[in-house]
Amino acid sequence: MPDMAKYYFFNRLEIAVCLFIYGYSLLSQESNSQTEKDITQPEPKIEKSTEITTPKNTKLSTGNEALNPKAKEQEIKVDQSKLGTKLPIDFGVFVDGYYNMNMNRPTATSQNYTTQAIQNNTFAINLAHIEGKLDTEKFRARLALQTGTSVNANYSNETTNQKYSNQNSVRNIQEAYVGIKLGKRTWLDAGIYMGNIGFEAWVSAYNWVYTRAIVLDNVPYYSTGVRLSHEISDKLSVQLHIINGWQNITDNNKDKSLGMQAAYKITEKMKFTYNNFIGNETTAPTKTDAIGTVYMYSKETIKNYASPYTPYTRNTRYYQNFIYQYDVTDKFGVAASFDIGYQIRGTSDVYNPAIPSDVNKTYPYYSKHSGAYRHWYDGTLWVMYKIFNEWRIAGRIERYVDREGANVPVVKQSTIYQKEPGKKPNGFQVSAISLNLDYIPNEYAMLRFELKYRRSMDPIFDYADSSELSRHEKMFISAMTFKY
């Protein structure tokens, strides 16, 4: 009897196991059938946008909107195919390596009056960054971290003695901002974002010529503050900026600066853009107390601040930038810009024997705010032509005049002015011409060659191991970029 019970027990166990396997097989087949059905079912068609959305799908073409480098750098379009996802984030990478053969053969490792391809006769990384972009219908953001020789040059003035300032970390932040859509055609962005002034972008792959023009090297690459953008119509758009200052992340005074942009599309191939900047560019004096807290002053009079006694005065800067762009054909384009800047001269020493002794005992003068202005201006012309599907040539001529060093001070003064006391320097007055050849095999990679010549009214450029300076500087730059 026990053997018979054992037999029935195992027999029923085997039947149960078989039924379980058979049921699992049916469920698996049904699941596979449903999966195959989902796979074979045609996907809904999504109408593709022809507008540039992100660096991933930005092609180096000569289409109408693609020709404007600054527009490529700043514009964020919403990819309609991503609106249904929770986080439509695009990740990208950019690497720009170069070799600058400076024919002046300077002994210095880097050259002056530029931020691009700044290292002499060495292989280097001009700019490398990784980015994350978030695009939705009512929200957008971008975070980009960077390194390179152009980064070191652009952020060299980001220094301060303010306690708890983030000056040590901002060098590696290219952009870090968020934006909210306030209306049908209105956006509000806040954070660190690319500067709006000028035709050329920081990312070299967007520009017709590899290096930046003199005028673009001396306007803000980036801004920190808030940006209000509004499209008045399909042809006219405007921006209003409230920012820390002229390329400042760590502010150097308590005053905020204003900027504006108005872009008008005359025709589908012709565009005019106006940019401006108004702000105080004087570094405010500071005072540190016994426990190390730094206080920044903004008053006109500060007693016992320094010797000789110098009150804090605001040197307001006014800058205007005009850009005209004409895409003649799909292969040929021209652009021109004119810039002019004014800045209050500052202070002048005025004798005043009535200055109290507790302010200054040895310097019977006071600094009176001057109403005079220093000014500078620039004119630049770009030409681009696509000779073959994968080959492009471009040229740029420019003239920059800053006689008093209001925006571009002369780094080294020639000894000729010591030998001839009656001869006066002419400041920074430089003309330049650049010729560029690009090989673009696809939308990701570029091989670039640039021949660049700069000529100054005064000797200001390093030359070989000579103690004297040169009026001429010649460079041949080769570069390779990758963008995804």
The per-residue pLDDT for range 335-349, each reduced to its tens digit, is 999 999 999 876 655
Domain count, the chain: 1
Whole-angstrom distance, CA of residue 283 vs CA of residue 28: 73
Q: 257 in a domain, yes or no?
A: yes
Is there a contact between 88 and 126 (Cβ–Cβ < 8 Å)?
no
Contacts of 244 (CB under 8 A, 6+ apart): 223, 224, 225, 250, 251, 256, 257
Here the tokens at position 447 are 């091989």
The amino acid occupying position 194 is M
- Cα 343 to Cα 407: distance, rounded to the nearest angstrom: 9
* Residue 270 lies inside a defined structural domain of this protein: yes
Q: Which tops the pLDDT comparison, 327 or 26?
A: 327
CATH number of domain containing 291: 2.40.160.10
Q: Is residue 5 in some structural domain?
A: no
Q: Which domain holds residue 419?
A: 58-483
Cβ-in-10-Å burial (0-12, 13-18, 19+) of 45 comes to: exposed
- Alpha carbon 433 to chain centroid distance? 23
Cβ atoms 446, 205 nearer than 8 A: yes
Q: How confident is the model at residue 473 (pLDDT cuts 50, 70, 90)?
A: very high
Q: Is 324 part of a structural domain of the chain?
A: yes
DSSP assignments along 82-107, one per residue: GTTSS--EEEEEEEEEEEEEETT--S
386 close to 67: Cβ distance less than 8 angstroms: no
Tell me, what's the pLDDT at 374?
87
**pLDDT tens digit string along 79-131?**
556 555 567 889 999 999 999 999 999 988 898 999 999 999 999 999 999 99
* Per-residue pLDDT band at 287 (split at 50, 70, 90): low
Residue of 298, 90, 285, 272 whose CA lies nearest to 199: 272
In this predicted structure, what is the pLDDT of residue 43?
Answer: 46
Residue of 140 and 17 predicted with greater confidence = 140
Of all residues in the chain, the percent with pLDDT exceeding 90 is 53
Using the predicted structure, report yes or no on whether residue 26 has a pLDDT greater than 90: no
Average pLDDT in the chain: 80
Cα(5)–Cα(16) distance, rounded to whole angstroms?
Answer: 16
Task: Identify whether 308 is preceded by a cis peptide bond (ω within 30 of 0).
Answer: yes
In a domain, 340, yes or no: yes
368 band by pLDDT with thresholds 50, 70 and 90: low
Within-domain flag for 97: yes
SS3 for 7?
helix
Mean pLDDT across 432-439: 97
The residue with greater pLDDT, 122 or 156, is 122
254-268, 322-336, 413-427: least confident range: 413-427
Q: What is the pLDDT of residue 286?
A: 64
Would residue 14 count as lying in a domain? no
pLDDT-derived band of residue 315, with 50, 70 and 90 as boundaries?
Answer: confident
Backbone phi and psi for residue 42, each to the nearest 5 degrees, phi listed first: -65, 140
Q: What pTM was computed for the model?
A: 0.75
How is residue 370 annotated by DSSP?
Answer: P
Q: Nearest CA to 219 among 186, 177, 259?
A: 259
158-171 pLDDT, tens digit per residue, is: 876 666 666 667 88
Taking residues 7-30, what's their average pLDDT?
A: 50
List Cα–Cα distances, 333 to 85, 112, 228, 274, 346, in angstroms: 38, 30, 30, 19, 42
Residue 7 lies in a domain: no
Query: Could you read off the pLDDT of 239-280 as tens digits, one per residue?
Result: 999 999 999 888 877 789 999 999 999 999 999 999 999 998
